[in-house]
Amino acid sequence: MTERIYKGGEFLVTEVDKADVFTPEDFSDEQRAIAETTEQFVANDIAPHIEEIDQQNFDLVVQGMRKCGELGLLMIDAPEEYGGLELDKATSMLVGEKISYAGSFSVAYAAHSGIGTLPLVYYGTAAQKDKYLEKIITGEWIAAYCLTEPDSGSDALGARASATLSPDGTHYILNGTKQFITNGGFADLFTVFAKIDKQHFTAFLVEKGFEGLVVGAEEKKLGIKGSSTTQIILDNCKVPVENVLGEIGKGHKIAFNVLNVGRFKLGAGVTGAAKMAMAEGLHYANERKQFGRPIASFGAIQEKVANMTAATYASESLVYRLAGLLDTKLATIDKGAANYYELYQKGIEEYATECAISKVYCSEVLADVVDEVVQIYGGYGFVSEYPAERFYRDERINRIFEGTNEVNRLLIPGMILRKAMKGELPLQKEAMKAFESLMTPSFDEIDETQPFAREKNLLKNLKAVFLILAGAAVKKYMTQLQEEQEILMAAADIAIQIFALESAVLRAEKVYDRASDTRKELLSAVVTVCAFQASEALASAARRGAFYVEEGDTLTMILSGIRRYTRYDATGLLQAKRRLAQEALAAQKYIF
């Protein structure tokens, strides 16, 4: 946790201090011990059976979940009064990162411990928790979440599943089909969303044994083959009235708030997967010889290694910075409050923008990493006997899970603008200042004696770019901006790059003074690579956005400003990449 509480999205309009970010270097001994327990569980209980699990031996998945329950890995987010550990989000995300090494098994784990369990934790009555929660957090029962339907994915409120009260008032009768349900084939408890009287969107706790619940056939998937994905068919399914979860007609609160948690946990999971995939690629690069020497000795491979290392560093920095934001905010809530979980959910919702950024950025880092790992393996990367092929197939779903990356990109600027309209962020005032700066020649004064001064100055300028384009877009389109998806996507890409780069820079700055000389070299190298990559990606998105929004003299002025504000002196970039590659290839793993 950190001391200052930042508002969601505030990073775009303020300078953040290094002391106010949580980093992996801040993990406590307890957190490190839980991470080690998770790693040992994966190494001993899952890794030897990955091939069998991928062939859909779900008995092994269920056994693994039971063992997770014994180790306490399913109760991290559950309240102590019901036998849970009630640990912080940093710990929850750290376990999610380490469990990702388990391949498809990690999907079952994530669905159970996240969207499968949290609706009950956050919205369940005391009676519902007494009945179900202990079974869920010990692994005796497996949980699943049923929101998506054949015709409603991102448009969750367009669901057609219906619920009708029985004549005697004791049950709701549910009808409909739920699609792509993770853990569907072996789950015991389902959180199911349906519309009462085809109008009131509501959640229900549905046991596998309830009359009228039918489990469909396993989907034949591209990847994550060792996870169960089925339809859940509700054929006059009888659900007792006491199994309504939360308030009637308020199911959207459960659906959307739990997705925020799913997004930041997915960010942690894919970061762990990137580390694992990269380690395999590094090992292979050292072993594989061509032209009489290891391919690791070639600059073309070393550049890939450096880029993967830097991107994963930014991904990891982003994830745990978000964990710190969440934990700092949630620590201010009185656990004795009658509406504790309502306040808790609002605390998480405050950072919905950052949760969406985490989901998008980290999943796309993993995509880039596994693509490069396949390339390092060459033809063998396309062969299923080698791990790169499975990494490649398993990765793809992460850009669809928890809301597609397109939907999340649209959410990012939308949520920021809503905060500005409510007066929670001074976006308009800062946008005007940024626009005025375009007409005022300025010379950045950079104190090169301070670590990462160039990168911090770059961040200040990149934030100005976001503000200029956001201000121009709002001025032109006003309330119709929500319909201009191409512009919103460009704005999202700018915000994403700013948050990721700032997370990497602040983390490096925070630990720099106490680092060894070798570590300082590596920190400087990784920040240089991160800053170069971010400034290039952001400049492209900003130019795209400028052409979408403006024309004539104003366009010319904004494009000039983009060139000025995205300029980054990456002197020493090649040496930085070679230094990172040298260290990573020697260690044969992610080095930070």
CATH code assigned at 199: 2.40.110.10
Residues 262 and 399 in one domain: yes
Within-domain flag for 397: yes
Residues 149 and 131 in one domain: no
Within-domain flag for 410: no
pLDDT number for residue 564: 94
Which residue segment(s) compose the domain that 255 sits in?
A: 251-405
Measure the CA–CA gap between 189 and 202, rounded to whole angstroms.
16
Using alpha carbons, list the distances in angstroms from residue 195 to 128, 165, 177, 208, 216.
Answer: 21, 11, 13, 20, 21
Measure the CA–CA gap between 386 and 284, rounded to whole angstroms.
10
Residues 113 and 174 in one domain: no
Q: Helix, strand or coil for residue 84?
A: coil
Residues 166 and 205 in one domain: yes
Per-residue pLDDT of the chain (592 residues; tens, 9 = 90+): 557 899 999 999 999 999 999 999 999 999 999 999 999 999 999 999 999 999 999 999 999 999 999 999 999 999 999 999 999 999 999 999 999 999 999 999 999 999 999 999 999 999 999 999 999 999 999 999 999 999 887 777 788 999 999 999 999 999 999 999 999 999 999 999 999 999 999 999 999 999 999 999 999 999 999 999 999 999 999 999 999 999 999 999 999 888 899 999 999 999 999 999 999 999 999 999 999 999 999 999 999 999 999 999 999 999 999 999 999 999 999 999 999 999 999 999 999 999 999 999 999 999 999 999 999 999 999 999 999 999 999 999 999 999 999 999 999 999 999 999 999 999 999 999 999 988 887 667 788 889 999 999 999 999 999 999 999 999 999 989 999 999 999 999 999 999 999 999 999 999 999 999 999 999 999 999 999 999 999 999 999 999 999 999 999 999 999 999 999 999 999 999 999 999 999 999 999 9
If one counts every other C-beta atom within 10 angstroms of the C-beta of residue 226, the result is: 28
Within-domain flag for 3: no
Active site residues per annotation: 402
Residues 130 and 166 in one domain: no
Termini Cα distance of the chain: 20
Residues 356 and 474 in one domain: no
**Could you tell me the two tokens for 358?**
């985490």
If one counts every other C-beta atom within 10 angstroms of the C-beta of residue 434, the result is: 22
Within-domain flag for 236: yes
- Residue 31's contacts (CB-CB under 8 Å, 6 or more residues apart) are 90, 91, 94
- Residue 564's contacts (CB-CB under 8 Å, 6 or more residues apart) are 461
Measure the CA–CA gap between 314 and 487, rounded to whole angstroms.
25
Residues 240 and 257 in one domain: no
Q: Helix, strand or coil for residue 439?
A: coil
Residues 255 and 352 in one domain: yes
Residues 65 and 33 in one domain: yes
CATH code assigned at 428: 1.20.140.10
**Could you tell me the two tokens for 20?**
């106010």
Task: Answer for the pair 534, 465: CB distance below 8 angstroms, yes or no.
Answer: no
Residues 170 and 32 in one domain: no
Within-domain flag for 9: no
Residues 373 and 510 in one domain: no
Task: Answer for the pair 8, 499: CB distance below 8 angstroms, yes or no.
Answer: no
Q: What is the DSSP letter of 330?
A: H
Name the phi and psi angles at 170, rounded to 5. -95, -20
Please count the helices (runs of H) and the strands (runs of E) in the chain: 19, 10
Within-domain flag for 287: yes
CATH code assigned at 122: 1.10.540.10
Task: Answer for the pair 477, 291: CB distance below 8 angstroms, yes or no.
Answer: no
Domain closes at, from 105, 124, 142: 142
Domain count across the chain: 4
Amino acid occupying residue 143: A
Within-domain flag for 541: yes
For residue 24, the surrounding DSSP H or E stretch is none
pLDDT number for residue 229: 98
Residues 40 and 182 in one domain: no
Within-domain flag for 14: no
pLDDT number for residue 154: 74
Q: Helix, strand or coil for residue 590?
A: coil
DSSP states of 272-305: HHHHHHHHHHHHHHHH-EETTEEGGGSHHHHHHH
